[in-house]
Copies of this chain bind each other. A is one copy, B any other.
Amino acid sequence: MSTTPAQTGHAPQPAPAELGPAEIGVGMRLSVHPHTDRFVEVILGALDDVDAAGLTEGLTIETDDVSTYVGATVAPGEQRLASYLAALVTAASRRSAGGHVVAHVLLSRGCPGEASCDLTTTRLPGAAPVVLVPGELPAVAQWSLYPLLDGDGGAGAHMSHIEEAIATARRDGVAVAPRHYATRLAGDLSQVVATAVDAWARVGATVPHVVTHLTLSVGSPTPVQEER
């Protein structure tokens, strides 16, 4: 037998609206390091390129003296962050004539404010896999993923999320190798960025607070270590 609001005496509950990226706190901090005397010109030029390409739409951007905060305000947040990141590294590489550029990125989901983290596991939306156009820029990366569980895990819970993410990355075709404390990824820059962003968003659909760190290296004079 179905009950109506009038029968139970409760007002009808509206379906909860899906949380937007600003409410979830979908964003990143990033820094770009061109290994050249011209680093200021390369960084400022690359930021202009990304802006001119319309890739700052739906994002809030604030720079301090260590890194730049990029927060998504309009869905799809994960896609906007991934596009911005891949385009910025590509532009910095081009503007330094293919020289050595490293970017360090912290992607965070679930702490909308600077300190508060009070999301619950309800109403956490997933995210579609990001789509990035391959740019034919080979990249190697050091990647780590941190599901920040509290009492909701169980023994080994955070490592099982990490192991699942690594297995998925391997299936997706990016070159994956274990390292102490991190995983090495290698492939086209677009593929490496998509792998890390998708894994982070996938964990974020069930774990309220999740962070991933990615150190991206392009144009290094160190020979790339071929391995899987």
A221 on the B face (CB < 8 A): yes
Query: A29 to B142, Cβ gap below 8 A?
Result: yes
Q: How far is the CB of A164 from chain B (nearest CB, A)?
A: 12
Residues on the B chain within 8 Å of A148, using CB: 146-149, 158
A66 contacts B140, C-beta separation under 8 Å: yes
Check if A184 sits within 8 Å of B64, measured CB to CB.
yes
This protein's copies in its complex: 2
Question: Of all chain B residues, which has the CB nearest A162?
Answer: B115
Interface residues on A, range: 35 or more
Minimum Cβ distance to chain B for residue A100 (Å): 7
B217 touches A65 (CB 8 A): yes
Additional A-B contact list (12), CB under 8 Å, known A29-B181, A29-B182: A28-B181, A36-B37, A40-B221, A65-B217, A65-B222, A67-B142, A67-B182, A67-B215, A69-B179, A69-B181, A114-B178, A181-B211
Q: List 17 A-B contacts (CB under 8 A).
A: A31-B142, A34-B35, A36-B36, A39-B100, A65-B217, A65-B222, A65-B223, A65-B225, A66-B140, A66-B141, A66-B217, A71-B180, A115-B178, A144-B211, A149-B158, A150-B153, A151-B151
